[in-house]
Amino acid sequence: MSSDIGMNWTQLLSTKRVRELRGDGGSTGDHRTEFERDYDRIVFSSPIRRLKDKTQVFPLDPNDFVRTRLTHSLEVASVARGLVKAVAMPTNQIEVRLPEPARHEIEERLDDIQNIAATAALVHDLGNPPFGHFGEAAIGAWFASGIGEQAIDPLNGHPELADDLLKFEGNARTTRLLASLQILADSHGLNLTAGTLSASMKYVAASREADKDGPDKSRAKPGFCQTEQHIVELVRNETGTGPARNPIAYLVEAADDSVYSICDVEDGIRKGVISWGDFIEALEEEDLQEVARNAQGFIINRAKQSGLDLGDAEGEACSVQFRVAAQGMAISAAASAFAKNYETIMTGTFGGELLDEKGKLPAERLIARCKKIGRERVYNKRPTVELELRGETILHGLLDVLWRGVEHFDGDPPKPKTAQGKAYSLLSRNYRSLFEHSWKTPVPTGTDAAVWRHYLKLMLITDYVAGMTDGYAASLHKSLRNA
């Protein structure tokens, strides 16, 4: 069926790797499938380890019970696997089911699709800088004032390059990490399969083309930088998606939405930022409050049966049970929405979200309400705001210093004993090697060489700062200030 309506699963599940797509030869396999190898490659990579010290909600939080980007990503991977299975093998809770030919096709490749979805979920926040989404805005803001504005000035007249920096976006940086920055033995990044790399791209627009107010949600934010445009085109041709989003990316997005919206509030309750009672009240709608009250009733009854006195921990226990119930609702709703919109998803014309924030289903309203509670009652608390502002100071200070190290680079690294050489030496050795290699390679057709190389200098310092953990960024900044 799918072969008649645009994309098809044979192409979408391509096992060709980036190195082979670029004409540099294939790779040798082992007892694992190619998509299992992708997952394992991510698990053992250094960027995934750094997520343990990157903010999910509370920057530089000393408590170990709140989520980091790593624990969040593991949870999204788990939910993504379950969502794929719900689409292929629907239970009675799934109201809309795929037509039989399509369902059978997905079930036949269930393991492969689950592995791709889990890997895409595991990497979905890999490109996020220190200090969460505020860190993204802080990096972009550096290029709009002071030293950063002067540094980016030579890119005036080249918005396709400048916007990669002014509109810094973690999702685009994820594509860059996977396809280029994370060096194994050459310049092909992690050399993932086309199937996995395609599914990992939540957004499909270049920075200059992104439109946050447009009707197509897959183009709301930048999905790749100009440095990866050629690779993106190769992957699109190989998987048959064209400029559209990979169908698996819709499932990963829904898994992420259901996890962060609910779990961020759960962490807020654990931190005492919002009480369980206030959370129920903030849900507002009676049927949504009923989900929370049912979770509370379940916990109270279980505690009584076992003779436990939960005391002050009752609210936390209720929030956990609520999360279980709410995510079950979200998975069922997302699986139904995938089936309902299957044809437009496979033709690349869907452009919406499986869990529509303006939707009318209980699960959709519940997810939307939890997001709103997070924005209004969790994320904007004074300690979090203070730490985010501290993060901006840290990132801007680091970029100021690092720019000195590359500002006058013209093919040869600055002398080690100079201030410029010392600043240059702070940068990752791998990133410096890739940068120096890129400096010597032919520039993209139609691009001015001097402009392109200036862009590469700015990308180098941005890549390095974006890859830092919260703790390392704070520690390095403190050390440079001799504080």
Please report, for the domain that includes residue 370, its CATH number.
1.10.3410.10
CA angle 140, 123, 477 (to 5 degrees): 45
> Can you point out the beta strands (E) in 51-168?
none
C-alpha span between 468 and 173 (Å, rounded):
13
pLDDT at residue 65 in the model: 61
Does 160 score more than 50 pLDDT? yes
Q: What is the pLDDT of residues 391-441, one digit of tens each?
A: 899 999 999 999 999 999 999 999 999 999 999 999 999 999 999 999 999
Asked whether residue 335 falls in the same domain as residue 474, the answer is no
pLDDT at residue 388 in the model: 74
Residue 284: in which H helix or E strand, if any? Answer: none
Asked whether residue 114 falls in the same domain as residue 190, the answer is yes
Asked whether residue 105 falls in the same domain as residue 166, the answer is yes
For the chain, what is the domain count? 3
Q: Is 207:169 a contact under the CB 8 Å cutoff?
A: yes
Higher pLDDT, 271 or 243: 243
pLDDT at residue 163 in the model: 97
Task: Select from 347, 378, 409 the last residue of a domain.
Answer: 378
> Is residue 365 a part of any domain in this protein?
yes
Asked whether residue 332 falls in the same domain as residue 374, the answer is yes
> Is residue 290 a part of any domain in this protein?
yes
Task: Select from 238, 268, 288 the last residue of a domain.
Answer: 238
Give the 3-state secondary structure of residue 224: strand
pLDDT at residue 481 in the model: 85
Asked whether residue 163 falls in the same domain as residue 220, the answer is yes
Q: What is the pLDDT of residues 221-255, one digit of tens each?
A: 999 999 999 999 999 999 999 999 999 999 999 99
Range of the domain at 22: 2-127+153-238
Does 55 score more than 80 pLDDT? no
CATH number of the domain bearing residue 184: 1.10.3210.10
Q: What is the pLDDT of residues 354-371, one digit of tens each?
A: 999 888 999 999 999 999
Q: What is the pLDDT of residues 61-95, one digit of tens each?
A: 555 567 889 999 999 999 999 999 999 999 888 99
Asked whether residue 160 falls in the same domain as residue 108, the answer is yes
> Is residue 145 a part of any domain in this protein?
no
Asked whether residue 402 falls in the same domain as residue 285, the answer is no
Q: What is the pLDDT of residues 277-320, one digit of tens each?
A: 999 999 999 999 999 999 999 999 999 999 988 888 899 999 99
Q: What is the pLDDT of residues 439-453, one digit of tens each?
A: 999 999 889 999 999
Q: What is the pLDDT of residues 170-201, one digit of tens each?
A: 999 999 999 999 876 566 789 999 999 999 99
Asked whether residue 361 falls in the same domain as residue 403, the answer is no
Which residues 6+ apart lie within 8 Å of 348 measured at CB? 6, 7, 241, 242, 243, 244, 245
Q: What is the pLDDT of residues 318-346, one digit of tens each?
A: 999 999 999 999 999 999 999 999 999 99
Asked whether residue 386 falls in the same domain as residue 366, the answer is no
Does 19 score more than 50 pLDDT? yes
pLDDT at residue 186 in the model: 63
Show the tokens assigned to 245.
């989003």
Asked whether residue 386 falls in the same domain as residue 451, the answer is yes
pLDDT at residue 183 in the model: 72
Asked whether residue 162 falls in the same domain as residue 265, the answer is no
pLDDT at residue 132 in the model: 83
The whole-number average pLDDT for the span 38-47 is 95
> Is residue 135 a part of any domain in this protein?
no
Higher pLDDT, 140 or 270: 140
